[in-house]
Amino acid sequence: MTAAHRPRASGRAREVVFWVHLASGLVAGLVVAVMSATGVAIAFEHEILAFFDRRVARVSAPEGARRLSLDALVSSAAEKRPGFRPTLFLVPSDPTSALELRAGREGALYVDPYSGAVSDPRSGAAHEILHTLEEWHRWLGLEGRGRPVGKLVTGVCNAALVLLCLTGLWVWLPRLPAGRAAWRRRLWFRRGLEGPARDRSWHDVFGFWTLPVLAILAGTAVVFSFEWGHRLVFAAFGEEAPAARGPGMLAGPPVSLPDGPPGRTPLPLETIHAAAAALHPGHEAIALPLAPTEGPPRPLDVVVFEPAPFQTRGRVQLKVDPFTGDVLSTFGWADRSAGTRARVLIRFLHTGEALGWPGRIVAVAASALSLLLVYTGFTLSWARFRRWRLRRSRAFAEAEEARAAS
């Protein structure tokens, strides 16, 4: 190809990329807007729920008072709420925090560690609203057989958003050679613009500055939207993807309980908690399973939460002998495979939590600005369609005039 033909070929390629960008935006724009809006709303779910529960989740420690034993607190709660069947006891290290008895989908109870008083969460309505928003974020609020369809649609639209980022960058780049003015127009806002010209400026500027973040948010979403994306992460590290996903993916290797004399009595929860706390003195909380009364004895799955940018990073799983208090195994972040760590990081990169508060704020800001990108993208497309329709109308009118004149 000669140098004379290169600009024309480059122009044709640019035009093709532009139309791919426009078509992808029109197809996926509304779904991207729904995911972005709901993503912003649920980004601080934990903080929102904590705000509503602040009166029952915090306690006042009487001067000189000591916390009641964990076993006594469980017994007291069972007497006050006989229908409640907790499976987990969360014990924060903060002396001003209430303890939590959790029963999975049945909910939770807050327990005052000094008086044994039991309180219901106050965040029930907020939790329901956030749960609904999360369902819209993940599968457009569809239920039953429609849920896989909704998940497929959001997954495809996340992939389309990745394509929009790539094609948008290509279209955004000024034609070379480009002077300082051309770069300035794309990097910052131009004053005094109105209508499509203003929308184009906003689309260019906001699109460029949010592109890296939106590409990460969309790319990470593709990973857990599709099974092939999930498996690809592990394959990159030469590992086989675990059958379980979510919390089940984090389970440590199984451990057998040492043999012992029959008729042994399990140790009190207080003793198990003390053993775990002694191993991790800087912990934030310890989750103790409430041992089932039926079935063969097995090691207790005790989870210690240490300070970390995101919860899974600081999660340490202990297998504890319920009869001796011996810690049979420890399984923390460093013990997980490279593929599992990468997969978990992808999950928390999607929310920005992998980078702490700054990461979460940047992720929320980019998601909010993507709504403006969708809006300006639609307005620019509509303006282009109107211009095309006007040109067709004029061409038709000129053809009619020519036909009448002949």
Q: What stretches of 214-321 adopt beta strand conformation (E)? A: 285-289, 300-305, 315-320
Check pLDDT > 80 for residue 228: yes
The predicted pLDDT at position 293 comes to 59
> Considering the domain boundaries, does residue 133 fall inside one?
yes
Asked if 67 contacts 52 with a C-beta cutoff of 8 angstroms, the reply is: no
- Looking at the structure, tell me whether residues 133 and 232 fall in a common domain: yes
> Considering the domain boundaries, does residue 311 fall inside one?
yes
Which of 336, 364, 382 terminates a domain? The answer is 336
Full domain range(s) for residue 107 = 58-85+99-120
> Considering the domain boundaries, does residue 94 fall inside one?
no
> Considering the domain boundaries, does residue 7 fall inside one?
no
Mean local confidence (pLDDT), 92-110: 90
- Looking at the structure, tell me whether residues 24 and 150 fall in a common domain: yes
Give strand pairing partners of 100: 90, 110
With tokens 């919390």, the residue in question is 247
Mean local confidence (pLDDT), 230-240: 93
Asked if 91 contacts 70 with a C-beta cutoff of 8 angstroms, the reply is: yes
Give strand pairing partners of 91: 286
Residue scoring higher pLDDT (370 or 9): 370
- Looking at the structure, tell me whether residues 356 and 376 fall in a common domain: yes
Q: Whole-angstrom Cα distance, residue 148 to residue 138?
A: 10
At 179, is the pLDDT very low, low, confident or very high (cuts 50, 70, 90)? low
- Looking at the structure, tell me whether residues 137 and 231 fall in a common domain: yes
- 319 φ, ψ to 5°? -105, 115
- Looking at the structure, tell me whether residues 351 and 218 fall in a common domain: yes
- Looking at the structure, tell me whether residues 363 and 395 fall in a common domain: yes
Asked if 32 contacts 72 with a C-beta cutoff of 8 angstroms, the reply is: no
Q: Whole-angstrom Cα distance, residue 187 to residue 201?
A: 9
- Looking at the structure, tell me whether residues 300 and 214 fall in a common domain: no
Mean local confidence (pLDDT), 31-49: 93
- DSSP state letter for 122: S
- Looking at the structure, tell me whether residues 144 and 37 fall in a common domain: yes
Give the list of residues 6+ apart from residue 254 with CB closer than 8 angstroms, or none. Answer: none
- Looking at the structure, tell me whether residues 371 and 382 fall in a common domain: yes
> Considering the domain boundaries, does residue 245 fall inside one?
no
How does the average pLDDT of the chain come out, rounded?
A: 87
High-pLDDT (> 70) share of the chain, %: 95
pLDDT digits (tens, 9 = 90+) for 306-358: 998 888 888 999 999 999 999 999 998 888 899 999 999 999 999 999 888 99
Domain containing residue 279: CATH number? 3.10.450
- Looking at the structure, tell me whether residues 135 and 169 fall in a common domain: yes
Q: What is the largest CA-CA distance in the chain?
A: 111
Q: Whole-angstrom Cα distance, residue 42 to residue 33?
A: 14
> Considering the domain boundaries, does residue 107 fall inside one?
yes
The predicted pLDDT at position 197 comes to 86
> Considering the domain boundaries, does residue 246 fall inside one?
no
Give the list of residues 6+ apart from residue 346 with CB closer than 8 angstroms, or none. Answer: 220, 223, 224, 233
Residue scoring higher pLDDT (245 or 376): 376
**For the chain, how many structural domains are there in total?**
3
- Looking at the structure, tell me whether residues 267 and 358 fall in a common domain: no
- Looking at the structure, tell me whether residues 38 and 135 fall in a common domain: yes
Would you list the DSSP string of 68-87? PPHHHHHHHHHHH-TT----
pTM, entire model: 0.84
> Considering the domain boundaries, does residue 8 fall inside one?
no
